[in-house]
Amino acid sequence: MEDGSTRSVRKPSGSRNRTWRLLGTALLIGLAFWIFYGQAPAEGGAPTATTGLTPTTSLLIILVLLLGNAFFALAETALISIRHSWVRMLLEQKHRLAGHLNALKNEPTRFLSTVQVGVTLLGFLASAVAATNLAEPFYQTLKPLEAYVEPRLLYGLSVIIVTLLTGFASIILGEIVPKSIAVAYPERVALTVAAPMVFLDRLLAPPVWLVNAITRLILRPFGIQPQRLAPVVSEEELRVLVEAGEEQGVIEEEEKEMIQSIFEFTDTIVREVMTPRVDMKCVPIDADVQEVIALIRKSGHSRIPVYEGSVDNILGIVHAKDLLQLCEGGRTIHLREVIRPAYFVPESKRVIDLLQELRRQRTHMAIVQDEYGGTAGLVTLEDLVEEIVGEIQDEYDVEPETLVQELPDGSLIIDARMHLDDASELLRTTLESEEFDTLGGYVFGMLGHQPTVGETVTIEGWQLRVHELEGHRIRSVHAIPYTPEPTASEEVASREA
């Protein structure tokens, strides 16, 4: 999957809430100044003008404050958007700003608190300057309306309008524009803001500490601990991003399937991926070596379990390499001389844990045991890898049988070994069983007795008919589309309708 310069970045979750907070703060400040200043009567009943900065100076100060707000917005979006891998690359290259970026990226909660305090202070100051110094000039422009509106109300209206205009300017110049720039060029912006942000982080440390301390003090009686910053994206959000990436052509279908397999890999247990006992190729301990070699040639397997008495008593594993090396001299050997210890695991073990254990044990095969200690099947390292990358075929593998065969009438011949999840997806229905993992096991459980060819169970939209048996085991299932006949009461209801 290519990593281009243009990427989709998740915006900070609090940006929209902060926008409304800015507007609310501006409005509250405007109302406060109207209450304290706009209500004071002057000669002739007109409001008293507050003495302060000139309009030009006030506008320049507000512009500087909005630029400061824009800096914090740039820093927040850029530092959240940059990748950890890019920061690590800068560290390896010994970039002069790599240390600053690494510190900010590894402690996002800290710098976000600094951003929050800075934005709040700058927004408050901008609204205060506007309300105290621009409301009077704006009120003078509204003087002609005094014939229709009470002067005090008109002055209060001018204060509110000025503070709201300041709030909108803060949203556009201090939020939307800088964040759009940071999303488009996150790495370039991050390099620009890193050093100033570290300085401001230290400068604003006292008020940030005070705010956090008061917050913890208020929350303590409720038994609430301040939460650390949540992950930027969750597993479900990543799945959505992968789906969107495939739709837009950024991610190939094979890449999407592999990523989804990795997510499912962590929830899969050994029982779902093992070769069941009935399909295991095993040899007894007293088998002739030539028989074992013949089985290895026929099956294509390089490792064969060895048992004594029954398959429930696995003694070990015989390796094809060991047999070939010992047979070169022409001497007679016994399997007890060459078998290696078997590694046993329960069928409920998670495959991700088994993968780590097989790597640690430096073995490629494990014998799977059921809850009673009997042999349930076997699982190989290749089985686990195939759960992620798909089927791996080498020159000795037999071409796998087709699991699904579609017939001209729309019905399906399905291999009974198909997993229930795959069968549910194929038939677009829900097949659930706590006892069985395969379609054949599901049909067997629904019947409740030893099946015979032709027996049928009915599910939503389908009839599942036993198509072929292998001994006592269902080998294939015939899935036939099925629509139940309406009952007499349903026919009457349809006629009345």
Residue 229 counted as domain residue: no
Q: Which two tokens stand for residue 471?
A: 């001994």
pLDDT at 38: 44
Domain identity same for 61 and 174: yes
Last residue of a domain, one of 363, 389, 415: 389
User: Tens of pLDDT along 115-129?
Assistant: 888 888 888 888 888
Q: Which two tokens stand for residue 114?
A: 């600094």
pLDDT at 11: 41
What CATH number is associated with residue 300? 3.10.580.10
pTM beyond cutoff 0.85: no
Domain identity same for 190 and 42: yes
Last residue of a domain, one of 354, 389, 424: 389
Is the confidence at residue 10, as pLDDT, over 70?
A: no
Residue 395 counted as domain residue: no
Domain identity same for 70 and 42: yes
Is the confidence at residue 46, as pLDDT, over 50?
A: no
Residue 486 counted as domain residue: no
Residue 491 counted as domain residue: no
Q: What is the mean pLDDT of residues 295-309?
A: 90
Domain identity same for 53 and 191: yes
Domain count of the fold of the chain = 4
Residue 300 counted as domain residue: yes
pLDDT at 188: 92
Domain identity same for 277 and 261: no
Angstrom CA distances, 466 to 440, 459, 473, stand at 9, 14, 10
Residue 440 counted as domain residue: yes
| Most trustworthy range by pLDDT among 11-25, 96-110, 398-412 | 96-110
User: Tens of pLDDT along 442-488?
Assistant: 999 898 888 899 999 998 889 999 999 988 889 899 999 988 776 65
pLDDT at 5: 37
Ranking 241-255, 284-298, 438-452, 471-485 by mean pLDDT, the lowest is 241-255
User: Tens of pLDDT along 221-234?
Assistant: 887 766 554 445 56
Domain identity same for 414 and 349: no
Q: What is the mean pLDDT of residues 246-251?
A: 79
Residue 1 counted as domain residue: no
Q: Which two tokens stand for residue 437?
A: 């993992």
Range of the domain at 443: 404-481
What pairing do the DSSP bridges indicate for beta strands 375-380 and 365-369?
antiparallel
pLDDT at 227: 57
pLDDT at 487: 60
pLDDT: is 242 or 458 the higher one? Answer: 458
Task: Count other Cβ atoms within 10 Å, centred on residue 102.
Answer: 16
Domain identity same for 343 and 439: no
CB 393 within 8 A of CB 369: no
Ranking 234-243, 246-255, 377-386, 450-459 by mean pLDDT, the lowest is 234-243
Domain identity same for 206 and 306: no
pLDDT at 41: 41
Is the confidence at residue 16, as pLDDT, over 60?
A: no
pLDDT at 283: 93
CB 292 within 8 A of CB 323: yes
Question: What percent of the chain has pLDDT above 90?
Answer: 20
Domain identity same for 198 and 252: no
Domain identity same for 166 and 23: yes
Residue 490 counted as domain residue: no
Domain identity same for 176 and 29: yes
Task: Count other Cβ atoms within 10 Å, centred on residue 46.
Answer: 15
Domain identity same for 239 and 213: no
What pairing do the DSSP bridges indicate for beta strands 344-346 and 473-481?
unpaired
Alpha-carbon span 183 to 105, nearest angstrom: 16
Task: Count other Cβ atoms within 10 Å, centred on residue 390.
Answer: 12
Angstrom CA distances, 101 to 79, 94, 189, stand at 8, 12, 11
* Averaged pLDDT of the chain: 80
